[in-house]
């Protein structure tokens, strides 16, 4: 695993993490066990983590983890790239019903997500099924008063169209924000929160940094998407929550803010989305 950076000057929340990849086994033998990942995160002043489930086993495990570890709350959903397979098996309605049940399982389930649209990995003939499932997740978030966490890959216009059609929940997070400044303004005009990952540190991410400059502090979150998308200088390695200081420091430089001030703003925005725990 990469060397740990210096701890942050103030605590922040990792708004999107996949500890279940550790739980089920990952290709990279260096991935940390869950307890070690949480300990190292705390040592870096990343004091709390949102564990995101992307399929039924992952959603069930997210709820279990949130009930087991004080640092963790859960998100439950069917990832858009899971939808074509569920449709082919004829089990999508049953799976959505279980996501609805899991959303009510515990007060520590704070998120419906990640859901949304992926026009990169799913061929065009699967887009309608993704959209129908996305609409169902939006309804679940509103019905159960949960934050909606959105996966948007190469689908900016359709994400906004569906949310405008359905009416967005009170709290919407654009996970691993991937748009430019113009798209950021569209999202912010709708009251959404933008969550930035290690990608904002990449050399070729000028559009992301421009979007970050557009984002008010009260709409700004940070995440790892671990074990994916580690920040520079660890691009291509295994990510973990303890590496968030590298992302936050890069964001602070873009925003021209002291590290402690940005941490405080991210913490406040995260709590406004997720509540206290």
User: How would you write the pLDDT of the chain (277 residues) with one tens digit per residue?
Assistant: 899 999 999 999 999 999 987 544 445 556 688 999 999 999 999 999 999 999 999 999 999 999 999 999 999 999 999 999 999 999 999 999 999 999 999 999 999 999 999 999 999 999 999 999 999 999 999 999 999 999 999 999 999 999 999 999 999 999 999 999 999 999 999 999 999 999 999 999 999 999 999 999 999 999 999 999 999 999 999 999 999 999 999 999 999 999 999 999 999 999 999 999 9
- pTM for this entry: 0.96
Tokens of 169: 């929940």
The crossing angle, in degrees rounded to 10, of helices 92-103 and 56-68 is 10
Q: Tens digits of per-residue pLDDT, 152-177?
A: 999 999 999 999 999 999 999 999 99
CA-to-CA separations, 134 to 16, 93, 95, 128, in angstroms, rounded: 18, 13, 13, 10
Tokens of 103: 């959303």
Which of 3.20.20.140, 3.40.50.300, 3.60.21.10, 3.40.50.720 is the CATH number of 12-274? 3.20.20.140
């Amino acid at each position: 695993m990469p060397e740990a950076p210096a701890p942050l000057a103030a605590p922040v929340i990792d708004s999107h993490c996949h500890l279940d990849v550790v739980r089920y086994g990952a290709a990279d033998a260096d991935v940390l066990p869950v307890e070690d990942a949480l300990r190292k995160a705390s040592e870096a002043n990343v004091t709390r983590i949102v564990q995101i489930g992307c399929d039924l086993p992952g959603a069930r495990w997210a709820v279990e983890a949130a009930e087991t570890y004080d640092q963790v709350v859960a998100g439950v959903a069917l990832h858009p790239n899971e939808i074509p397979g569920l449709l082919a098996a004829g089990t999508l309605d049953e799976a959505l019903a279980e996501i609805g049940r899991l959303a009510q399982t515990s007060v520590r389930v704070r998120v419906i997500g990640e859901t949304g649209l992926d026009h990169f990995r799913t061929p065009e003939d699967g887009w309608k099924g993704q959209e129908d499932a996305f609409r169902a997740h939006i309804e679940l978030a509103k019905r159960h008063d949960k934050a909606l966490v959105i996966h948007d890959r190469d689908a900016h216009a359709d994400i906004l169209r569906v949310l405008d059609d359905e009416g967005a929940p009170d709290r919407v997070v654009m996970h691993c924000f991937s748009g430019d400044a113009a798209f950021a303004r569209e999202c912010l005009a709708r009251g959404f929160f933008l969550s930035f990952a290690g990608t904002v540190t990449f050399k070729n991410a000028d559009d992301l940094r421009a979007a970050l400059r557009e984002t008010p502090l009260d709409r700004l979150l940070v995440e790892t998407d671990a074990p994916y998308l580690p920040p520079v200088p660890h691009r291509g390695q295994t990510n973990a929550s303890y590496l968030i200081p590298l992302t936050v420091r890069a964001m602070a430089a873009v925003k021209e803010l002291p590290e402690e001030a940005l941490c405080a703003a991210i913490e406040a925005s995260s709590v406004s989305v997720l509540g206290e725990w």
